[in-house]
Amino acid sequence: MMASRSPGLAPSVARFRWASSHTRRRLSHAQRWGISLLAALLVFAWVVPLFLDADPTRQDLMSTLAAPSLQHPLGTDHLGRSMLARVAAAIRLSLGLALLSVVTAALPGLLAGVTAGWRGGWCDRLLSTVADCVLALPGLLLVLMLAAIAPGNFWTLYIGIALVLWVEYFRVVRSATRILAQSPQVESSRLLGFGRWYIFRRHLWPELAPQVTTLAAFGAATSILAVSSLGFVSIGLKPPTAELGLMMTELFPYYQEAPWVLAQPVLALFFMVLSFHLLAGKEPQ
Amino acid sequence: MTNHWRNLAMAALGGALLFPINVHADDRVDVVAPWEINSLDPVQAGHVYGRMQIAETLVDTDLQGNLVPGLATDWQSSDDGLSWRFNVRPEVRFHDGSRMTAESVAQSLNRTLANPGVLSQADIDSIEADGDAIRIMLNAPYSALPALLTHYSTQILAPASYTEDGKVQELIATGPFRIVSLNTPQRLEAERFDEYWGEAPAITATSYLAAPRGETRALMAQSGDADIAFTLDAASQARLRMTPSVALHAEPIPRTVTVKLNAAREAFDSVEERRALSLAIDRQGIARGVMRVEDAAANQLMPAGMGAWHLEGLAAPEKNLEKARRLLESQGWTPGEDGILQQDGQPFSVTLTTFADRPELPVIATALQDQWRQLGIDVAVNVGNSSEIPSSHNDGSLDMGLLARNFGLVPDPLAIVRQDFGPQGGDWGAMNWSSDALNSAVGELISATDEGRKAALEKQTAEILHEQMPVIPVAWYVQTASVNARLGGFAIDPFERSYRLSDLHWEE
Amino acid sequence: MNRVISTLLLQRLVQAGLVAWVVGTLTFILTRALPGDMAFRIAAGRYGYEQVNAEAAAAVQAELGLDQSPLIAYFHWLSDLLSLDLGHSLVSGESVVSELAHQLGHSLDLALMAMLLALVIGVPVGILSGLRPNGWVDRLALVSAVALRSLPPFVIGLLLIMLFAVQLGWLPAAGHGGGSHLWLPAMALALGLAAVSARVTRHGMARVAGSPYYAFSRTRGLSEGQTLARHGLRNVAVPVIAYLSVQLVYLVEGVVVIESLFAWPGIGHALVHAVVARDVPMIQGTALVMGLLFVTLNTLVDLVSLYIDPRRRLS
């Protein structure tokens, strides 16, 4: 309901040109930064373990919370495990799970949003009612319940979080689609007999993409932080797995003794989210 | 609701002016501890009411765990041990001003008896008032009955506390402090009760706050928001030691981290296997790295200070992987290709169930997982709800459970030992394991009166538990508290029954 | 105008009824689907972990009649709901309504205060960034927003306690009861919220600032401040309010971490405990109240938007 005012035609026209050459579009300055940052994270997560012989679960209780050294370049955690190996493992896992969560939220949200906005009528009313009910249902409750049904499984946590987050996409996409569907371009394409897929690709997606991608960038952070919040109330713990959100929770008690250890998963998440934001480029309204 | 708006407005005002609001410059003793007040009913939340000295029991304990008179002045049992008489203290008033009578005591205890709890340990036939005393009739002798009557679930409340159907509607008890306001599940405020039967406390007002996070409690102690903060993690202790406005106290308590084993499992059905598991544990590492107390490494079930239950002269616990491997090999466990031990093609794969009510348990579980993996055992850790251990004990699905057991729940460990290691095992103790020798020793202890004989039997029982290892002891607990340096007279009760607030005084 | 409002209210009323039914039924199905022995769970919630054993579980089972058929239990719940009876907590034995009244009050205090602070911090930052898109304020604001959104709330809360309670001694570290206790937890929540509302404001502002009428107003000789007050704020307000209204609900429920760090007796905390202890009446009561709260808030936001943005009254 917040994006229901007409954004004017000018941007659509501009993007029309953009869309026709989108295959060989030049990346913006910010997006190049985003790519480099993400690439650096990926290299760190996948390449470092190849050169470093460290097991993210191997403990050494005699050297817990050790400062960075040659043997452990990022220090050790509260059980004496190599932080370098753990952060790398955690990025691999969390990145995958966050993407899973984002995709499971964005896809249904996008599909339902476009359908509701385009078709209107009872279809719109039905989907909007479902969305309102989901919003009204405490998200925490859904996640807690799913976590309780299959305890100790990360994917249920992330799916539960996705079940809550899809509504955001739905709302944004629906209101944008409603306006776009009545625009002259879509109208003329329809009259010219172009199929739905073509109209979606040509007119809707370029307009929706920046909004959806930014929601996704924030969504990735939201889902990882949600896991760490749940860990804080002792839900979803699954030792000895390294996962960014849970690492923050596990290392929190040592904030005073070893702040650099707590800072590592936080920084990893920061860079991850920042790279997504830069990649997403334009933010939604 | 109006109250909330006022609070909001006040906060906005306070914040807007960034006015230094000094909230703790009063004489009230503010206590912060991890445990929530989940009900008005002492059967459920009496631990808080007992510790805050709001409610009292017939029998009390001193700091060494000896039984001393509480609301009962003295007690005797008949020669056959089946009939007990507790003389009720005269001139005791409840917080509403009414007199405590033998009838009100009997009513309160009968209500406790109707609820699940430690009182069912003794096979009680009836509890009745008999003049100025109450008479408890047993179906079988139970020498530890006075110890059971120290438990918080047996706190005495006034008859006016109960509704007609026996629910607690108001907490009217006899302690030196009485409740002013109670907001379950987190906050309680109390004031001195002027008609208290005993010595009047020097402290005029107290408060209790349940703060689930250790970090919060430590920060509240450091900032002066809490005068007494219980259960501090090691990192916070180091910091608080540097803070001049607080004094740090630590005291070993009879609580032990143990691993409960399902002895019906192929992997745990022999003493050799259980010993091997025990030998693979790096207790010093867990004590130093996780509990952060050097003395926490447990070489047996009960810590020192538990009389004959603690075996003197045992060596410090050692980690010996070689010996552990040999023991397992003697039981037919040989390494498979993936390094995991096998027996008849079956891998040594088990699930360790634990819970996070005590935040160190999942961490210890993670440490054990790695240490047993070095032995070739594949352990999955399941961090769930505390009820999963007793419930999977009862349906037989438990492999192993990591838990913290309080042997001082009542001052005589016999009550817990009997509950945990009886012929049927116990929800929090042995599983599918029993020992005839232990059963006969415990059976004799339950009616023994001679102190020398009791000590011998206790030692014998402790030795069986140590040899047979139906549960594996891992670490002992040390209770910690940080106390405002201006408060005098503080001591930690190792049995965690009372915070001893009535002994405190403000120093000028 | 009046007709628009009355249709809106009627729609919302129907929605409220629907939400109540869906929320209740879904929680009912979900709680029945949860694994684990319910009697043991409830006993653990009641007596604490050390007292829970087969005996306690059996007593709970007998007292609560847990072996009742699910369908009968469901219709019991439904008819109780119609007579506005939410039942009693299985753990504390107190009535669900009185427990919720206490907790919801505290949660609302916290949420409203956090919202207020988020507006006070987020909106000015957003307007400054939006007036000069891609200027240094804008870039700094983006990086801070990302940073605040990457910090778990407990770390933000911790930093605030260390600064304001331990170092400066201005505010109490944790607990509740006095007005000053509200300040730090509200701030911890507000910072994360302000991060995003600043971005929403920024985009609204950038759009308004780039619009022809805004430029016209400037060329007419009005100062920047006057233009902003006359044309900017009102246009920016609508999306910000709409965004925050959704966030308010997240806040009410999403504060579990802050509640447990600051020992604040809120509804998130209550919900986690209820789910853990399988306290079905409490779960249903909490979910119901939160659902209805959402509908009420949405209605209020619609009314406020109608007031601010007259164009909407026509549609």
CB-nearest partner of B288 from A61, A239, A255: A61
CATH of the domain at C155: 1.10.3720.10
Q: Which residues pair with B88 in a beta bridge?
A: B72
Count of domains for chain C: 2
Instruction: Residue C56: list chain B partners with CB under 8 A.
Output: 116-117
Contact between chains at B235 and A253 (C-beta distance less than 8 A): yes
State the Cα–Cα distance between residues B459 and B464, nearest whole angstrom: 9
CB-nearest partner of C92 from B12, B153, B184: B184
> Domain for residue C1, yes or no?
no
Check CB contact of B285 with chain A, cutoff 8 Å.
Answer: yes
| Residue A4's pLDDT band (cuts 50, 70, 90) | very low
| Residue B402's pLDDT band (cuts 50, 70, 90) | very high
SS3 B258: strand
**Residues whose CB is less than 8 angstroms from the CB of residue B319 and which lie 6 or more positions away in sequence, other chains included:** B279, B280, B281, B282, B283, B284, B285, B371
C171 plus C46 within the same structural domain: no
pLDDT at C103 over 90: no
The boundaries of the domain holding residue C53 are 20-82
Nearest CA of chain A to the CA of B471: how many Å? 22
**Residues B87-122: tens digit of each pLDDT:** 999 999 999 999 999 999 999 999 999 988 888 888
Domains of chain A: 29-44+75-280 (1.10.3720.10)
C254 plus C201 within the same structural domain: yes
C211 plus C107 within the same structural domain: yes
Identify the CATH number of the domain defined by range B38-174. 3.40.190.10
Check CB contact of B383 with chain A, cutoff 8 Å.
Answer: yes
> Domain for residue C42, yes or no?
yes
C252 plus C177 within the same structural domain: yes
The pTM for the full model equals: 0.86
Fold classification of B253-477 (topology level): Dipeptide-binding Protein; domain 3 (3.10.105)
CB-nearest partner of B215 from C50, C158, C181: C158
> Domain for residue C53, yes or no?
yes
Residue that wins the pLDDT comparison between B404 and C256: B404
C162 plus C232 within the same structural domain: yes
For chain A, what percentages of helix, strand and coil (3-state, to nearest 5) are there?
Answer: 75, 0, 25
Name the residue with tokens 């005797």.
Answer: B76
Contact between chains at C271 and A235 (C-beta distance less than 8 A): no
Check CB contact of A153 with chain B, cutoff 8 Å.
Answer: no
C130 plus C78 within the same structural domain: no
Least confident among A108-117, B468-477, C282-291: C282-291
pLDDT at C252 over 80: no
**pLDDT at position A6, please?**
32
Check CB contact of C282 with chain B, cutoff 8 Å.
Answer: no
> Domain for residue C196, yes or no?
yes
pLDDT at A12 over 60: no
Contact between chains at A61 and B367 (C-beta distance less than 8 A): yes
C63 plus C201 within the same structural domain: no
**Residues A151-180: tens digit of each pLDDT:** 767 778 888 888 888 888 888 888 888 878
Mean pLDDT for chain C overall: 81
C167 plus C111 within the same structural domain: yes
Contact between chains at B391 and C36 (C-beta distance less than 8 A): yes
Interface test with C, best of B186, B228, B242, B246 (most C CBs within 10 A): B186
pLDDT at B348 over 50: yes
Contact between chains at A225 and C152 (C-beta distance less than 8 A): yes
> Domain for residue C4, yes or no?
no
State the Cα–Cα distance between residues A150 and C55, nearest whole angstrom: 27
Nearest CA of chain A to the CA of C152: how many Å? 6
Contact between chains at B187 and C186 (C-beta distance less than 8 A): no
| Residue B73's pLDDT band (cuts 50, 70, 90) | very high
How many alpha carbons fall within 13 Å on the CB side of residue C225? 0
pLDDT at A15 over 50: no
Q: How many CB pairs under 8 A join A and C?
A: 142
The domain ranges of chain B are: 38-174, 253-477
C177 plus C272 within the same structural domain: yes
> Domain for residue C286, yes or no?
yes
Which run of H or E residues covers position C185? Answer: helix C183-209
The pair of three-digit structure tokens given for residue B342, joined into one six-digit string: 């096998």
CB-nearest partner of C179 from B14, B18, B32: B14
Contact between chains at A145 and C196 (C-beta distance less than 8 A): no
Confirm if C116 and C241 have CB atoms less than 8 A apart: no
| Residue A281's pLDDT band (cuts 50, 70, 90) | low
> Domain for residue C15, yes or no?
no
Nearest CA of chain A to the CA of C27: how many Å? 8
Interface test with C, best of B182, B387, B495, B497 (most C CBs within 10 A): B387
> Domain for residue C13, yes or no?
no
C72 plus C190 within the same structural domain: no
Contact between chains at C166 and B24 (C-beta distance less than 8 A): no
Mean pLDDT for chain B overall: 89
Least confident among A29-43, B176-190, B396-410: A29-43
B23, B37, B482: which is closest to B219 by C-alpha? B482
